[in-house]
Structure 1
């Protein structure tokens, strides 16, 4: 009896550890961490599916089939991608999320309540660790440069998303572990405010309202929820008043002093929540009080909106001003300060969405290749600001994968909704809905800290309890083969990156032969990457300049819209081959694709000026 029980506990423990690692140690969108986390997910999924295959109802089969085909389409896009190495990386992300879903499928026998408790515990741990980095500056030194709360995820909006997604879970927890639920809500509101995320705040409020609308015992929940958010808002406000917590560029001693004050405020706030639950909010709030407060809040909102309309000169002027502020024609980026919370500017989102749409119009069927929006932006951008995603996951897939990829992504979402509706609890369903809504306006696909647990949750609630049948050797062998292929796909770019770093280390030590060997190894692991080829060409002996030229041309032909590929070719022709006409042609082509790398005073700018001068002396300065 003990052995099956131990086996049954191992998989949930492994899945929880995997989610914990993704949440706290993924290091943002790091490719290196993605390899380790993704490889672990693949191994756990392969072992679990090989030893005890899950029971897949038809809806779960449809979900996994849609997700697998979508990932395969991402991989297939390498063939026509304008940035194939990035497409490989992006296909690997999809592969990792498929592995997370497969791990989740092994948890089909876990009770929904138990799953929700674990999710609440993981989110609470994340929030405590995130806030601890503000209290103890040594945990994350980069807050001295930029104060916006983002550790350990690396991106403020993703941390705000998880805070918003935790709201329905915290509200659900209130009736089962009152203090724990209130403290989760308290921590979440402090976190979301300090991220300065407007969408995160709005989604958190909407998630709370949606849960209360669906909760038959909402009057028991409203009091503790209001207490937690009022106290959390006060503590977050105190943090915004402390320069060492909310201002950029603060000295270490300022962050230490203000961090201690903020830590004290957090502890006092938690104590106030606990005491308030014990002595003040001891019973359900009366319906009349709730209606009165709701009416008062609605009146305040309407009055504020009316005042804004009158101040703008009328509803037409108000709407025109807000639209002008949103579409941001000046390409101004909203600053990373608390003041951004009250801004209606899209902060360049509208421009990026237009660029993505234009790319789709130009390549409607197949798109430009998975993960290739970065090159699209550099060709289209009208300011020095560069991004690699359009900050809208569905629109990004439409742009990069064409209508086929977009429809496959829609199929993944639709089949996921159908698959989980039978088992998912209200709080988890709302949390998943928050994640999807946030992806419409941000770059969530790049963060395994969000997407990994999300797909794990979908996989868990899409399947039923394990079938209880013995594993057969054919499915087991199939799982092993798929796992090996997945690990190889993840490992090759990772090994290439490490070999490239080793090449630069050898180069810094003056070991040219070692650097050459490492560059070749990097290229062999990832033949789609540009940088190993550039380094191989740069390290080619002077007696083999024709070979170096061919390497530069091969790299350019692989990514013909990459301005940097054209630039390094032109620079080689200018400095090494002494061919100013060829150099001017290629440098000018690089300028056509991205003029912002040729800013005055930079090496590219000087190279272009020199080539132009040699071709046409009248342009010399």
Structure 2
């Protein structure tokens, strides 16, 4: 994006210096925004869906280190300034502390460790947003431009997998867009996060007109991505974010001029795609997908060119003659009338249905809340369906919460604890909603910490943007205030979507929202003019030139850094920040190091190097003492070394480490059954099947152990071995009634 795309205050905007051959150095806004766009796009492309340990660890460590280093730099350069957003940062740290503390009571402490690392990375990202706004408060437009650039890169890649399936998605079986996250709703959310930014870009009164015209085709492309992902949650989030933007930003007609043609064009292209079997059905041969994909590419290209022409025409007409007050009022009345007709038309459609208005509403509510409701098919028809499998996950999360209302099952514990309550065979890691996930994982403590963080950030955002009854109409909507409100709208988009899905765990989407949230909280009252780095008073009366530009800014920054290093309070705070960041990154790295050591042990075992394999397995145990996986590997090594006592001892350690996890119980029972001790295996399968009554492996082992012992097992109502009424799984080796 070119420099005119950004609107900044004259006293903080760097001037581009001339280079040979008539070229000009990029502006400070462009460099700042480009670096942020690169960071956000890299996090999205590398982190994927946040489920793969290697890429996720890389992203989290990078965020922790970058956040710590930039935070320390901000403390040294601006240490004497009031820390806006400090309360929000502290409350975020409290939530992180609760997450870390849950390792002590988690049913799956290894997953709690991983979630603690994720939360610390998000804390660092939120702090990074606060640090960046302290260092460059006038570059809010560069941040918005960076978000649009990152969203465009990821959305274009997702769409390209549909247009060029032979090169990018040869083995794809689903019609819905799901790359680069591997999850369609994350793709839809990524595109939805760009909706407020497009409205800002197309509606703003500053900036280059040609650049502003790009907002219309960009918004059209993002809406196509949302629709082709079949993501109802993303549509809801985009509507909520747009509604918030139109409510708080008084550029509504300008925004409508961007949204209306983009939405109409996106709906036209998407409807055509929905009616093309090669684009809307699963398991279509590659040749057919490629042909239809190329047609989709031409359709999107044609739509983009048409919307660009519309954007340029609107901008040209607006520059020649601004609409009169009367014309604006008429247009506003038309928009309001159209908007008011939407619910009326919806009510009319429901009333004319076979169930009638009241029956249709009742049926819709049942489909939304009934755990046994029919899940909509994986086709475009799901966009108008209400039912989903989420009601099942919500019901299970509430059961986990009721079992441990105060502190929950521990961070990341939903996936393990739900096995006790599930009535399906699915392996689900998340509750598909932040509120339900937190209730299941952290109980009332986590819910209280999250609520305090939400309130603290909301107060900070209201102070920054003037969203208070006293200030709302009294303050002018200058460019920065509109930009800050747009950043707040992006946070709203993410918050709404996270309420109905697990995209909190997807780093690519979460990082964008957290940077925006940190920037808004850390800005303070937007009426306060930002202090540029080239201000000689702020630089410490060092004789720094007041000239603007990258060289002057760097000189002033060095002078500030020198002054900060002489301030003991700022120096200590910066040092502590760096130490904490490095410590967090080191702790985050350990599960991955353990995983790699475990793989090395198995590889060495395959080469019949038993002693070396044992050493590698022990290293895996030492690096991640909370996980049962290294112990299972160690047991396999000891078994191959003909050390049955050591092999069984490793499995017993796994059971003692995670007694509320059915997996180590099943491994121990399988081992005992394999060595001929069916009676002992039968005892161990009691707690295993209590913790996971639907375990196919557990039921199979139980039937085999029963057959070998010739015993008739006493069963509970679920048909699995009963457990004491207290609900606590027996200790290793104890009998089950």
TM-score if structure 2 supplies the norm length? 0.77
Structure showing greater radius of gyration is 2
Residues 33-48 of structure 1: matches in 2 within 5 Å? 33-48=55-70
Contact 1:11–1:107 under 8 Å retained in 2: no
1:340 positional shift: 0.9
1:267 positional shift: 0.6
Residues 334 and 510 of structure 1: is their aligned pair in 2 closer, same or farther, counting only changes over 3 Å? farther
1:289 positional shift: 5.0
Match of 2:708 among 605, 608, 614: 614
1:494 positional shift: 1.2
Contact 1:444–1:451 under 8 Å retained in 2: yes
1:492-543 deviations in Å (ceiling 9; x for gaps): 0111122223333334445444433322222111111111111211221465
1:293 positional shift: 5.9
1:417 positional shift: 2.1
Take 1:137 and 1:174, find their aligned partners in 2: how far apart are those partners?
A: 32
Residues 106-117 of structure 1: matches in 2 within 5 Å? 106-108=131-133, 109-111=136-138, 112-117=140-145
Take 2:350 and 2:686, find their aligned partners in 1: how far apart are those partners?
A: 49
1:98 positional shift: 1.2
Name the structure 1 match of 2:446. Answer: 405
1:370 positional shift: 0.5
- Say whether residues 1:252 and 2:274 are aligned partners: no
Q: Structure 1 or 2: larger helix share? A: 1
Match of 1:265 among 278, 284, 299: 299
Name the structure 1 match of 2:721. Answer: none
SS of residue paired to 1:148 = coil
Take 1:139 and 1:462, find their aligned partners in 2: how far apart are those partners?
A: 43
- Say whether residues 1:20 and 2:114 are aligned partners: no
Residues 309 and 262 of structure 1: is their aligned pair in 2 closer, same or farther, counting only changes over 3 Å? same
1:617 positional shift: 6.2
1:229-249 deviations in Å (ceiling 9; x for gaps): 111111222222333332211
Name the structure 2 match of 1:354. Answer: 395
Take 1:326 and 1:492, find their aligned partners in 2: how far apart are those partners?
A: 41
Contact 1:38–1:99 under 8 Å retained in 2: no
1:426 positional shift: 1.7
Take 2:69 and 2:274, find their aligned partners in 1: how far apart are those partners?
A: 48
SS of residue paired to 1:18 = helix
- Say whether residues 1:60 and 2:85 are aligned partners: yes
- Say whether residues 1:243 and 2:246 are aligned partners: no
Name the structure 2 match of 1:544. Answer: 643
Contact 2:487–2:517 under 8 Å retained in 1: no
Take 1:291 and 1:459, find their aligned partners in 2: how far apart are those partners?
A: 37
Take 1:297 and 1:258, find their aligned partners in 2: how far apart are those partners?
A: 35
Take 2:279 and 2:356, find their aligned partners in 1: how far apart are those partners?
A: 39
SS of residue paired to 2:500 = coil
Contact 1:12–1:107 under 8 Å retained in 2: no
1:371 positional shift: 0.7
Residues 611 and 43 of structure 1: is their aligned pair in 2 closer, same or farther, counting only changes over 3 Å? same
Name the structure 2 match of 1:217. Answer: 251
Name the structure 2 match of 1:433. Answer: 492
Take 1:41 and 1:11, find their aligned partners in 2: how far apart are those partners?
A: 17
Take 1:470 and 1:299, find their aligned partners in 2: how far apart are those partners?
A: 60
Q: More displaced, 378-387 or 217-226?
A: 217-226
Name the structure 2 match of 1:308. Answer: 350
SS of residue paired to 1:106 = helix
- Say whether residues 1:87 and 2:112 are aligned partners: yes
Name the structure 1 match of 2:172. Answer: 144
Q: More displaced, 288-297 or 515-524?
A: 288-297
Name the structure 2 match of 1:449. Answer: 508
1:62 positional shift: 0.7
- Say whether residues 1:488 and 2:586 are aligned partners: yes
1:45-74 deviations in Å (ceiling 9; x for gaps): 333333441556455111111111211111
Name the structure 1 match of 2:663. Answer: 564
Contact 1:15–1:104 under 8 Å retained in 2: no
**Unaligned ranges ≥5, structure 2:** 1-13, 16-24, 466-482, 524-530, 539-559, 714-737
Q: More displaced, 253-262 or 7-16?
A: 7-16
Residues 297 and 142 of structure 1: is their aligned pair in 2 closer, same or farther, counting only changes over 3 Å? farther
SS of residue paired to 1:35 = helix
1:7 positional shift: 14
- Say whether residues 1:330 and 2:372 are aligned partners: yes
Q: More displaced, 586-595 or 504-513?
A: 504-513
Name the structure 2 match of 1:376. Answer: 417
1:446-472 deviations in Å (ceiling 9; x for gaps): 111111222222222322568745134
1:413 positional shift: 1.8
**Unaligned ranges ≥5, structure 1:** none
Residues 117 and 286 of structure 1: is their aligned pair in 2 closer, same or farther, counting only changes over 3 Å? same
SS of residue paired to 1:311 = coil
Name the structure 1 match of 2:218. Answer: 184
Contact 2:48–2:507 under 8 Å retained in 1: no
- Say whether residues 1:122 and 2:150 are aligned partners: yes
Residues 459 and 209 of structure 1: is their aligned pair in 2 closer, same or farther, counting only changes over 3 Å? closer
SS of residue paired to 2:564 = coil
SS of residue paired to 2:176 = coil
Match of 1:342 among 384, 387, 394: 384
Residues 8 and 166 of structure 1: is their aligned pair in 2 closer, same or farther, counting only changes over 3 Å? closer
Residues 164 and 90 of structure 1: is their aligned pair in 2 closer, same or farther, counting only changes over 3 Å? same
Name the structure 2 match of 1:230. Answer: 264
Match of 1:70 among 80, 95, 118: 95
Residues 496-535 of structure 1: matches in 2 within 5 Å? 496-535=594-633
Q: More displaced, 140-149 or 424-433?
A: 140-149
- Say whether residues 1:161 and 2:161 are aligned partners: no
Take 1:293 and 1:340, find their aligned partners in 2: how far apart are those partners?
A: 28
1:190 positional shift: 0.3
Take 2:338 and 2:200, find their aligned partners in 1: how far apart are those partners?
A: 26
Residues 415-426 of structure 1: matches in 2 within 5 Å? 415-421=456-462, 422=464, 425-426=484-485
Contact 1:238–1:262 under 8 Å retained in 2: no
TM-score if structure 1 supplies the norm length? 0.91
1:276 positional shift: 2.7
Residues 307 and 227 of structure 1: is their aligned pair in 2 closer, same or farther, counting only changes over 3 Å? closer
- Say whether residues 1:391 and 2:432 are aligned partners: yes
Q: More displaced, 273-282 or 368-377?
A: 273-282
1:566 positional shift: 1.2
